[in-house]
Structure 1
Amino acid sequence: MARSEEHNRQARERAREALLDAAITLFAERGVAGASIAEITRLAGVAQGLVSYHFGGKDQLISAVIDRWFETVIGISRVEGTPDDALAAIIDGALLATAFAVPLQRAVLAMQLQPATHRLFAESEQRHAAGVTAAEDAVRALFRARGAADPGLEEVMLRSTLEGVFVKSAVFGDTYPLEDARRWVRRLYGLPEPREPLPLSGSPSGMEPRPRASAGG
């Protein structure tokens, strides 16, 4: 009995997600140049031809990985509540995304810095320009509501702080004190201490932090 069109659509979507997940994993481990289409499809458990079917080629697959990162980043700013509650949720959301998307973070960080893929990153940034601007404006509105003298600069510095945490976390893995960093950033903005820790599997909060790249996962 032939499968329904809905089953076929779901199978195609599963294959596309498997390719994206495999690409993210291998790009993070080996860099873009070190991960071949054959290796990506082997890890994904799909035929090589599906890369062309879903993406068109390796550059387009790289772009899809970067697009996934932008979608994640833009989604973090979509929160509700009082300005303080919303700012705390943005901080927590960014750090939680850092913890659970380490391969994606590592892969995209390398793409931002490498000349061979910087162009693809810039093109993805242009595709998501409206969403990025809206996310920035949402955070600036929070700072404005909190009485900040320069909401634009506050947003830039918050983003810089959180991106710095993500870079260090990507380098040091579970030895980076992400929960302690969360509490530090909250205190920086005069926000209340969180009631519960983030659902992390790394080093427990409260220990003297000593990040080590040799132990990073």
Structure 2
Amino acid sequence: MPRSADANKEMREESRQKILAAALAVFAEKGYNGATITEITKRAGVSRGLASYYFPNKHLLVDELLDAYLDGVAAIIDIPGTADERLAGIIDGVLSGLLNNLPVQGVILALVVQPSTHPIFAEVEARKDERLVRIEDSLRELFTERGAADPAVEEIMLRSVLEGVVYKAAVYGPQYPVEPVRQWLYRMYDLPEPKGTLAGVEPPPVTRLRASERGY
């Protein structure tokens, strides 16, 4: 019996997601320049022809990954509630992403800052400019509600601090003290103390951060 159009569409999307997941894994192991479409195809368990149909080159793979990353940022920002509730939700959303998808965060960070892939990120940002402006304006409105003297600077600093946290967590992996950092951010922004922890367990004491040869 022939598959329905919906079933075919679902299978195509499943194949695309397998390819993207494989690309993230290979980029994490070998970097953008060291990765090949052949290796990504093998890791995904799909034919080279199918992979090339969706993504004829690595550039398009990176474009898709960064596009999804920016959509994820937008989803974290677009939460309801008071200004304080929204700010707490943004902090928790970013830190939960670290706990749940730390290797992915590290790969995305590398793709953003590497000289060979940063121009692709710039292209994605330019294409998503309208959405990014809405994100920036939403954050600035949040800080306006909180009585900030310069909401634009507050928006830039929040993003800078959170991106710095992502960078450090990507470098130091599971030893990075996510929960103590969360509590520090709540205090810095004078938010009510969080109830419970993101991981559901009490964090270990903070130690000195040292990079592992094995990474994360």
Give the TM-score normalised by structure 2.
0.94
Aligned ranges for residues 74-93 of structure 1 at < 5 Å?
A: 74-93=74-93
The one-letter amino acid of 1:155's match is E
Q: Which residue of 2 aligns with 1:186?
A: 186
Q: Which residue of 2 aligns with 1:149?
A: 149
1:113-154: CA deviation from partner (whole Å, max 9, x where unpaired): 222212111101111111111111111111100100001101
Aligned ranges for residues 62-211 of structure 1 at < 5 Å?
A: 62-199=62-199, 204-211=202-209
Q: In the alignment, does 2:5 pair up with 1:11?
A: no
CA distance in 2, matches of 1:206, 1:145: 36
Q: Determine if contact 1:143/1:154 at 8 Å carries over to the other structure.
A: yes
TM-aligned CA deviation for residue 211 of structure 1: 2.2
CA distance in 1, matches of 2:164, 2:86: 21
Q: Determine if contact 1:176/1:210 at 8 Å carries over to the other structure.
A: no
Structure 2 residue runs without a partner (length 5+): none
CA distance in 1, matches of 2:134, 2:52: 33
Secondary structure at 1:116 match in 2: coil
TM-aligned CA deviation for residue 200 of structure 1: 6.9
Q: Which moved more, 1:97-106 or 1:32-41?
A: 97-106
Q: Which moved more, 1:50-59 or 1:10-19?
A: 50-59
* Runs of 4+ in structure 1 over 4 Å off: none
- Identify which of 203, 208, 211 aligns with 1:213: 211
Secondary structure at 1:115 match in 2: coil
Please provide the CA RMSD for this pair.
1.6
The one-letter amino acid of 2:139's match is V
Give the TM-score normalised by structure 1.
0.93
Structure 1 residue runs without a partner (length 5+): none
Number of residues paired by the alignment?
A: 215
